[in-house]
Amino acid sequence: MAIVGGGITGCSAAARLAEAGLRVRIHDARAIAEGASGRNGGFALPGGAARYDIARETYGAERSAAYWRWTDDALDRLEQVAGDALRRPGSYRLAADEEERNDIRREYDALREDGFGPAWLDDVPGGAAGRFHGAIAHDRHGSIHPARFVRRQAARAAAAGADIREHDLVEDVEALDADRVLVATDGYGHGLVPELADAIWPTRGQVIASAPLDRVLYDRPHYARQGFDYWQQLPDGRIVLGGFRDTSILDELTDVEETTPAIQSSLESFLHELAGEEVEITHRWAGIFGLTQDMLPLVGPVPGRDGGVWVAGGYSGHGNVLGFACGELVADALLGDTSSPQLELFDPARFFAAGG
């Protein structure tokens, strides 16, 4: 069996499949973790990409609760194999204004009702103190060194016999010498499977990192403005900040992996505010993730391909825990275990309605 994409999804699936005894091969146009899995903000948050109260309205209360619990379990499992690539300092979801306070208050109430038990804070300690209009504090959320984690997953897969082929661009999935192909390219590889082109939209995220600061201002991942802006301070003191995609939202629906002056300048100003002084910016980068219309991933066989082509991707910017979980989920399904209710929720067929 062949997997296209050596990110968190492809490597987690490969590890599971190889450990179950399948002959598996990963092809990546670059090297392991050089896609979004090595370029992201490092938030390891359980849950889906949508706000929980909205998920309940959209997918149904029971299905949303089961979905969120499933990702909680996935984060616990991820911790068991991540070693020092994962810390669990918690996270703050912040309200940038009164309107957002009302929104996240609704999410908080919905989470409490369903037994998830985050805490509400009118203000947060640290560098964000006095600047926001309330926060949801999740005390078991994580911060991940994503590339380190994915390389470990790749090493696990290789140790179990997986063949890893880097710098190996796949142009035609049907031409691969494999009985089944798993497409694990998330926002990259748009058009490789033409039927998926309208279901998973490539979307660009931009990030900057400061030089190390000599004090801790942010002891956990922070995110505000519905998650459009996100930052955390790494153990070496650097602040990593991403966001402002909404300031030119249509231009950012692209797979061109480059930074733009407008978004970089917004990030810079905000970084100086967060640090409370002008700080040196040492790194800038862009990455591409896969966005879906309903904010749910696609996991399962691609309709019309006779079970020969499968997909796992479309995490809508939320793929660290979900990519790990969906990599394992699709591997289990490929091994014949289709009992998980998530497979129904994530079924790619929902984008292939009759006549659609």
Ligand X SMILES: Cc1cc2nc3c(=O)[nH]c(=O)nc-3n(C[C@H](O)[C@H](O)[C@H](O)COP(=O)(O)OP(=O)(O)OC[C@H]3O[C@@H](n4cnc5c(N)ncnc54)[C@H](O)[C@@H]3O)c2cc1C
**Residues that bind ligand X in the complex, under the rule CB under 6 A:** 4-10, 27-30, 34-37, 39-43, 169-170, 184-189, 192, 205, 207, 242, 287-289, 313, 315, 317-320, 323
Cβ at position 122, least distance to ligand X in Å? 25
Q: Which is nearer to ligand X, 11 or 128 (CB)?
A: 11
Q: Which is nearer to ligand X, 109 or 135 (CB)?
A: 135
Q: Which is nearer to ligand X, 43 or 59 (CB)?
A: 43
- Which residues, 6 or more positions from 118, have their beta carbon under 8 angstroms from its beta carbon? 108, 111, 112, 136, 137, 138, 139
Alpha helical stretches, state H, the chain: 8-19, 52-59, 61-82, 98-113, 146-159, 261-275, 319-334, 342-345
Residue number with the smallest Cβ distance to ligand X: 319
- Angle at the Cα of 147 (from 70 to 137), degrees rounded to 5? 45
Q: Which is nearer to ligand X, 35 or 348 (CB)?
A: 35
Cβ at position 86, least distance to ligand X in Å? 12
Cβ at position 124, least distance to ligand X in Å? 19
Burial bucket for residue 225 (CB in 10 Å: 0-12, 13-18, 19+)? middle
Cβ at position 294, least distance to ligand X in Å? 16
What tokens does 320 get? 């660290």
Alpha helical stretches, state H, 88-226: 98-113, 146-159
CA–CA distance, 315 with 334 (Å, rounded to integer)? 20
Cβ at position 317, least distance to ligand X in Å? 5
Q: Which is nearer to ligand X, 43 or 52 (CB)?
A: 43
